[in-house]
């Protein structure tokens, strides 16, 4: 008798067999796609740099505004540490020491008497322009661009339109000699009336300068000034003597 064929039950179907996709614990993961970051435009970098510069500059100016008094005082203090001669040398763009050498004679007369610049307080008072060797009238200039003001300031002398101020020994007591009424200080250069500010004048070799309040005795003072001997400037040795030297 033929054997009965019985269909398998659901529990015995291949759905319950191990290894089926639905029954497995494995999960399929698709690869993660990374988003592409677009490159930063150059304009954006430039804008950032400008903003940073503005911030830094604003900070600097804000610091200066807050500390303005202190900063300005430091600048002023550094200027005060300079000698009057250094300040004037910078102001007039004076050349290096030795860039020029000139001699001139000067006569300053107040109350009928010659100011004696041979006194120690008037000697070698400036590096660039001075009196020396106790000579009371001979000016020595040792650089280009040196006005008489540098000499006057160094020894406490000031010449204005109406007055002559003399400060002996650089003391606080200033002697002031002024012209009376409508008269003025008389200034002569090489025998001719000098109408400008003599303190701004730069001497030339053999110049003769008269400064006085006495209008009546000008001719006498000029004659006396002409009697002063102005020494020649020592000549510098020539580098090229014309002879070949072999060592």
Rounded CA gap, 85 and 97, in Å? Answer: 13
CB 142 within 8 A of CB 98: yes
**Does any domain span residue 176?**
yes
pLDDT at position 215 is 86
Enter the tokens of residue 213. 């309040």
Q: Are 169 and 55 within one domain?
A: no
Domain that holds residue 216: 90-226
Q: 0.75 cut: is pTM over it?
A: no
Minimal CA–CA distance to 108: which of 59, 159, 36?
A: 159
Answer yes or no: are the C-beta atoms of 98 and 140 closer than 8 Å.
Answer: no
> Which residue(s) pair with 113 in the sheet?
110
- Structural domain total, the chain: 2
**Are 166 and 118 members of one domain?**
yes
Beta bridge partner(s), residue 76: none
Together in a domain, 69 and 109: no
Inter-residue contact 154 to 139 (CB < 8 Å) = no
Q: What pLDDT shows up at residue 66?
A: 75
Domain presence at residue 7: no
Residue 20: inside a domain: no
In a domain, 85, yes or no: no
The per-residue pLDDT for 57 is 74
Same-domain status, 114 and 139:
yes
> What's 160's domain CATH number?
2.170.130.30
Q: What is d(CA 222, CA 75) in angstroms, rounded to the nearest whole number? A: 47
- Would you state the pLDDT for residue 79? 53
Query: What is the C-alpha separation between 91 and 119, in angstroms, rounded?
Result: 28
> Which of 79, 105, 138 is at the close of a domain?
79
pLDDT at 159: 94
Give Cα separations from 163 to 25, 43, 131, 200, 227 (angstroms).
Answer: 116, 69, 23, 16, 26
Does some domain include residue 98?
Answer: yes
pLDDT tens for the 247 residues of the chain, in order: 555 555 555 555 554 545 554 544 555 555 555 566 565 566 677 777 788 888 877 776 777 667 666 666 565 555 556 777 888 999 999 999 999 999 999 999 988 889 999 999 899 999 999 999 999 999 999 999 999 999 999 988 999 999 999 886 555 666 888 988 888 999 999 999 999 999 999 999 999 999 999 888 999 999 999 999 998 877 665 444 444 333 2
Q: What is the pLDDT at residue 98?
A: 93
Residue 36 lies in a domain: no
- Report residue 139 as tokens: 């000016």
Within a domain: residue 37? no
Of the chain, the end-to-end C-alpha distance in Å amounts to 146
Residues 204 and 141 grouped into a single domain: yes
Report d(CA 103, CA 209) in Å as an integer: 12
Residue listed under structure tokens 């009965």: 4
């Amino acid at each position: 008798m033929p054997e009965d064929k019985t269909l398998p039950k659901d529990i015995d179907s291949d759905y319950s067999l191990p290894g089926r996709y639905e029954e497995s614990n494995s999960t399929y993961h698709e690869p993660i796609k990374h988003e592409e970051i677009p490159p930063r435009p150059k304009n954006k970098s430039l804008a950032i740099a400008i903003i940073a510069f503005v911030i830094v500059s604003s900070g600097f100016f804000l610091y200066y505004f807050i500390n303005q008094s202190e900063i300005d005082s430091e600048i002023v203090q550094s200027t005060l540490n300079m000698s009057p001669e250094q300040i004037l040398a910078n102001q007039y763009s004076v050349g290096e020491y030795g860039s020029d050498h000139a001699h001139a004679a000067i006569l300053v007369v107040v109350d009928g008497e010659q100011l004696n610049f041979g006194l120690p307080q008037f000697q070698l008072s400036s590096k660039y322009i001075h009196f020396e060797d106790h000579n009371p009238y001979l000016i020595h200039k040792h650089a280009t661009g040196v006005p008489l003001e540098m000499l006057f300031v160094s020894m406490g002398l000031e010449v204005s339109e109406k007055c002559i101020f003399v400060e002996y020994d650089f003391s606080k007591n200033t002697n002031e000699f002024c012209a009376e009424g409508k008269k003025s200080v008389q200034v002569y250069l090489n025998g001719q009336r000098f109408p400008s500010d003599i303190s701004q004048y730069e001497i030339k070799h053999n110049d003769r300068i008269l400064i006085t309040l006495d209008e009546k005795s000008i001719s006498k003072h000029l004659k006396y000034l002409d009697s002063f001997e102005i020494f020649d400037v020592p000549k510098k040795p020539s580098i090229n003597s014309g002879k070949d030297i072999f060592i």
